[in-house]
Amino acid sequence: MKEKKQGFTIEEIREQLQWEERHDAQTGTIKIAYLSHYEKLFKNKYVRVAYIRIYGLSYLLDVKGYAVCDEVLHVAGYILVDYFGENRVFRVGLDGFLVVTEHFDEEWHFIDKLEEYRSFITSFKFSLSKPQIKIFVGISEGNVNDENTIDNMLNKCKEKQRIAFEHDLYYVDDHIEDFEDLLGYHKDGRKDQLTGLMNMDAFIEYSKRIINTEITKELKKVIIYFNIENFKAYNENYGFKAGNELIRELGTELKKTFPNRLVSRFAEDHFLVLTYEKGVEEKIESIATQFLAKYITLKAGIYRVDHLASKNITVACDKAKIACDAIKRKYNVHFNYFNSEMDSMIRLEQYIVDHIDEALQKKWIKIYFQPVIRTLSQSICGFEALSRWDDPQFGMIRPDVFIGVLERYHLITKLSDYVVDCICEKYAYYVDKAPAVPVSINFSILDFESANLLERIDRKLEKVNLPRELFQIEVTESLLSNNQDYMKKQIKKFNDAGYLVWLDDFGSGYSSLNVLKDYKVDTLKIDMLFLRNFSERSKTIIEFVVNMAKALGIHTLAEGVETKEHFDFLKDIGCEKIQGYYFGKPEPMDDIMSKVIRGEADIEDQNQRYFYKDIGKINQLSNDPFGDEGLHLTNVPIGIFQQKDNKVEFLYTNEFFLNELVSIGIETEEELARRLENQISSTAKRAQEALDSLEYGEETSMDYIDGNNLIALRYKNIAVAKDRKAYLMSVRNLSKEYSVLRNMRLDETKQTIYALFDQVYLVNLKNNTVETIYTHVGLKKENNISNLTQLIDKTAKTMIYIDDRDRFIEFMNLEDINTRLENTHVVSEAFRYAESSMEYKWRIFELSYANNKDEVIFSIRPLDESKKNVYLNFHGYSVSKDTGLTEEALWNTLKDQVPAGLFWKDTNRRFVGVNKMFRDYYGIKSLDDIVGKNDEEMGWHVDPDPFMNDEIRVLQKGERTRNVPGKCLCKGENREIAASKMPVYNDGKIVGLLGYFVDTTDEKKRANIIKSLGNHDSETGMLNWNGVMANSMYYIEGYQLRNQEFMIVYINVLNITYYNHLHGKEVLTHMLQNVGEQISKYIGVTGVVGYIGMGKFVVLKQFENKKDMAKVKRELLAHISTVTQVDRISFTLRFNIGMCAFSETNDMELAYRLAQQRASKNYSIQEDDDVKQKIAEEMNKYQEIFDVVRCVDVDSYKTYILEDYKLKEVEKRCYEFFEKDHPCSSCIAKKALITHEEWAKIIYNGATHVVIARAMPIKGRNFVLIYTKKLNKES
């Protein structure tokens, strides 16, 4: 209001009075009655008009009174005038305002200004309070003229403001048919990243508000569900990038066909549209015809919307989807309306939602297993867990129906937990009766988003003591591609915990390659669509996927295998596992496991699983199957065979391998297997010797001449199990390949050389290098050395007989080679050369010039057996002087006088002779009683296997054993002996063994006493208990002298017996060593780590604060839990950890026992009703005898009493009952817990009390009961 001033003229006073008459004194705005007087300011101008109404004033009047209401109106009016100008704001009624302005070129500028105003008013503090008021606005715009007055525009605004109020919208403007603008959607950020359309959440929210909007309520509306029927096939044929482009193109066309309507992409190729029904069929036909020209079939389901639909938009969308699904494969039909017949599906969905809990409780849902088959062995190597709902009312409900419903209603986690529970319960029973193979379970995004999925699964497995490696986590490709940031963290958690993650339906989505890039998965499950449409293009894609997966170190499984053609193709390209009706339909879990137990189903054990898994790493499609190069498909002739019990079986051969065999005169792989088994030829024997020398991952190669064929063989040890080995083999007939012959410098002249020589090298004296020209005998890959000095050194140490080594090194001294070759041109000598660890043979080594004096040919050739003796005698290799000390005399003296039982055996381990002491020890009267027999036939070993295995290594590998301890039965007594054995060579060949033994029974007893005093564990190399105790003295001294506290940590590996039975002691020892290494790595040099046997470790570590103990336990568990794989075998190790501060007992052994007790305490009293019941029963027995009976948790000093026959935790700690503020220095509860004996003491605190503590073992746990009684004078 304008201020009056003295000295104004009459005219000015008149204008002031007119201003006051036209303006509202409370708000400073123009009274609406004077609107016509100001309309001339806007005549023929384009204006924007807003009707603003303030809600909540009635409430303010009742609660705060008139003063606050006046203040709100006053501020609201004056701020509007400030925002829009003095002559542009009018007061309408008690709580409304009209704004008229021509100052905004764009509507959104006007709207932003109104938004700024609303924000200011609704957050303004009136009279030191913030009233709960709301503002709703109706907006209009247009040219002001006689027909379109501001008053007319105000009436339109009032109607829009009412709509805004009813639907809780801030404003409604003229564009009521533009759904998105009506809702202010242009400010919403909930959009699909690929298409830019609104996402599902936004569509559902806005659809509800549109359907209920009064101004559109009378117009018929529909929800349309669009689906690309052959989208997966499109991806298969044109690639994922083209699939993305198709999705974007469809989104653009839908937006263009349905302008100003709600268009949303829900997922993959599914789109939803909310529009008016008029003309909708023509629009669908138009867009469907447009895409049909591109061989894309577009289907649409239509649901007619009524006002009830807004109550559940999701159901309306589902009905549109049902209508769409009903016309699948009807290629001449593009759209379909939802009708009453389809309503049964809705009723079924509602039934599923209402009865899921009952179905789980009553086990209407049953677990089925579908076998996963190993392609190479055709044995069962796993199962996929499937759910089947056998309902008493609806019969068998399809999985795609009830699983889809449960996911939509966020109930799927109930089913997932049920499946895991059922498998854990049943599988824990079956694994003790049959080989256990992994089970894969599919999880949805809702499972991962639910609380602690990993921890829930871990707890369920731990409860029944099943290892993680028996459970594999399946996730779909769409799940990973649609929730990347979140799922990366989740998958990593499962990977780190030791679970294998499988990628299901690979190739079904449009982001398959991105998923492989971003996630670590163990196995790809190739979508069955590729086999359903089994064209050449499908085959090419599957080959590429398998080849790519192998290069990435990912295993492969193909689903939907239904024919032998499918199986043969997948085996040929190296797909490791298959699943489908060709090998077996899903069956109830109990049925299929019963077959396994009865031996009616071929199932692999865990050793075979790791064996075949190693074989599966070989990429048969690579251009270098022996290495790990590239992804280029090739025609390398390869085969994979296994050796078991001297039998050879080919698991895989490609057609190029078979063709090569035919070219060298071998018709089938079975014939080649027989040749390797029988070792008829010297080449076969050499090949077997080369194979025997290979460790896992090593390779060797050999060339040989067969008639007119030069043949190159290559082998690699690719898998090892307890009872078998597997090899990758390549064979090439080089005579067919002129370019290869040329590269190897082969010509007709040199064919003769290859027939004569085993090995030929080209030596460059100037550069000190060597090049392998040709090799006949197998050489390991690492022995192909290019440095001459290294070759000489390695050959001398590993290949030359020890007595010949000095001569060989002198012969290979190339510093004087020119002098030696100057006259003779060739120098040669004979050396005994190792063809295997079993045999040395004489070979002639030759040096000769090549093209010049800088290059020398170094060759090795065999010495003709018929000429060997003549050659060796001629060159003086076997000359000896006769000293009278004949070998016979020396031998007879040795065998009769040596103080040991001496024996010698032939290559079949049968006794050839023994000395006198041997016969006397065992009471053998005649040599005829022992000659020709082996140890087993003599029957003097309780366990003959260790003795037999030692002798096999001596005879087959040339190893020597020394003082190997063992037990034998001698004259009715079990005696301790130590045996030594060594190979006997004749002319470089092992012809038997020589051995001796000594009785160590008495020495063993003395040694055991000495050994018990040792400080280190023989298996792990870590400190044993004695070592820990010895080191503890330093910690105890530090505690006593410097008050330096330290903790005793007890760590128990719970399931070592299971893995010892499964994999044997050697693997178990490696596992325990790895655990020990992780403990030591964490503890570092600041602590002591010991292994005391049976999977138990002890740690001593100093600390400053008791809070550090919890941190140490947490971090230590994290470190040792990283041990999930040893020797390529997966483990699920479970640990119990207990801790005790030394100050709690002041005694090392008592502290250890208390830590041990705490380790076994896996849960509290409150978690086990059975434990609570047993404790309550025990306490009740003594209620009448003692004044107070309490149960004490010694770790926390929490105390429980009996109230109404139920345990109840009380606020006081144990020691507080005796008016102490800290634990007792001599706690009898702890003593009772440790010693399992009753302890008592007298306490005086104003009265005399006797306190008795007694340990109470329940279910492997120890609790302590405290009985207290007050003593009177008579007592």
Q: What is the mean pLDDT of residues 716-727?
A: 88
Residue 352 predicted with pLDDT over 80: yes
User: Does residue 632 sit within a domain?
Assistant: no
User: Does residue 413 sit within a domain?
Assistant: yes
818 shares a domain with 800: yes
Residue-level pLDDT at 1009: 47
Q: What is the mean pLDDT of residues 1120-1140?
A: 84
Residue 629 predicted with pLDDT over 50: no
Residue-level pLDDT at 164: 73
Residue-level pLDDT at 202: 87
User: Does residue 503 sit within a domain?
Assistant: yes
1042 shares a domain with 1177: no
Stated as kind and residue range, the H or E segment containing 1036 is helix 1025-1042
For residue 928, the SS3 value is helix
Calculate the average pLDDT of the chain: 82
The residue from 600, 615, 630 where one domain ends is 615
Residue 65 predicted with pLDDT over 60: yes
Q: What is the mean pLDDT of residues 959-978?
A: 82
Q: What percent of the chain has pLDDT over 90?
A: 18
157 shares a domain with 191: no
Which of 18-32, 959-973, 1032-1046, 1112-1126 is predicted least confidently? 959-973
Do residues 338 and 302 touch, judged by C-beta distance below 8 A? yes
119 shares a domain with 138: yes
What the block records as the tokens of 373 is 């088959």
Averaging pLDDT over each range in 569-573, 839-843, 875-879, which range is the top one? 569-573
The residue from 984, 1006, 1028 where one domain ends is 1006
Tens digit of each residue's pLDDT (9 = 90 or more) over 364-404: 999 999 999 999 999 999 999 999 999 999 999 999 889 98
Residue with token string 């040669």: 828
Residue-level pLDDT at 641: 92
1192 shares a domain with 1254: yes
Do residues 802 and 826 touch, judged by C-beta distance below 8 A? no
pLDDT band at 1 (very low <50, low <70, confident <90, very high): very low
Residue 879 predicted with pLDDT over 50: no
1266 shares a domain with 1185: yes
Between 74 and 636, the higher pLDDT residue: 74
- Give the residue among 512, 509, 449 at the shortest CA–CA distance from 485: 449
Tens digit of each residue's pLDDT (9 = 90 or more) over 780-819: 444 456 788 888 888 888 888 888 888 899 998 878 888 8
Residue 175 predicted with pLDDT over 60: no
Tens digit of each residue's pLDDT (9 = 90 or more) over 1145-1167: 888 888 888 888 888 754 444 44
Residue-level pLDDT at 964: 87
How far is it, in rounded angstroms, from Cα 1012 to Cα 1027? Answer: 10
Residue 108 predicted with pLDDT over 60: yes
Do residues 100 and 35 touch, judged by C-beta distance below 8 A? no
Between 671 and 874, the higher pLDDT residue: 671
848 shares a domain with 778: yes
- CATH code of residue 1070: 3.30.70.270
Tens digit of each residue's pLDDT (9 = 90 or more) over 1052-1079: 988 777 777 777 788 888 889 999 999 9
User: Does residue 1022 sit within a domain?
Assistant: yes
DSSP of 738-797: HHHHHHTT--HHHHHHHHH-SEEEEEETTTTEEEEEEESS-EEGGG---BHHHHHHHHHH
Residue-level pLDDT at 369: 94
Widest CA span in the chain: 161
What the block records as the tokens of 47 is 């204006």
- CATH code of residue 864: 3.30.450.20
Q: What is the mean pLDDT of residues 715-720?
A: 89
Residue-level pLDDT at 784: 54
Angle subtended by helix axes 1107-1120 and 1065-1083, to nearest 10: 140
Q: What is the mean pLDDT of residues 197-213?
A: 83
Residue with token string 């060739």: 826
Residue-level pLDDT at 1012: 47
User: Does residue 586 sit within a domain?
Assistant: yes
127 shares a domain with 16: yes
User: Does residue 90 sit within a domain?
Assistant: yes
Residue-level pLDDT at 890: 73
Which of 290-299, 747-756, 1086-1095, 1188-1197 is predicted least confidently? 747-756
Do residues 303 and 316 touch, judged by C-beta distance below 8 A? yes
601 shares a domain with 644: no
> By residue range, what is the domain housing residue 1065?
1014-1159
pLDDT band at 747 (very low <50, low <70, confident <90, very high): very low
How far is it, in rounded angstroms, from Cα 421 to Cα 464? Answer: 10
1067 shares a domain with 1112: yes
pLDDT band at 578 (very low <50, low <70, confident <90, very high): very high
For residue 1009, the SS3 value is helix
pTM of the full structure:
0.55
How many domains is the chain partitioned into structurally? 8
Q: What percent of the chain has pLDDT over 70?
A: 85
Residue 1245 predicted with pLDDT over 80: no
Which of 766-780, 821-835, 869-883, 1231-1245 is predicted least confidently? 869-883
1035 shares a domain with 990: no
Residue 989 predicted with pLDDT over 60: yes
The residue from 969, 984, 1006 where one domain ends is 1006
User: Does residue 626 sit within a domain?
Assistant: no
Averaging pLDDT over each range in 128-142, 243-257, 510-524, which range is the top one? 243-257
Q: What is the mean pLDDT of residues 1080-1086?
A: 81
Residue-level pLDDT at 782: 43
What the block records as the tokens of 1072 is 């325990």
Which of 770-784, 834-848, 1216-1230 is predicted least confidently? 770-784
- Give the residue among 77, 272, 1063, 267 at the shortest CA–CA distance from 611: 1063
How far is it, in rounded angstroms, from Cα 1079 to Cα 1052? Answer: 12
Residue-level pLDDT at 4: 46
- CATH code of residue 727: 3.30.450
Residue 233 predicted with pLDDT over 80: no
Averaging pLDDT over each range in 181-190, 392-401, 1115-1124, which range is the top one? 392-401
User: Does residue 991 sit within a domain?
Assistant: yes
Between 989 and 335, the higher pLDDT residue: 335
506 shares a domain with 416: yes
Residue 631 predicted with pLDDT over 50: no
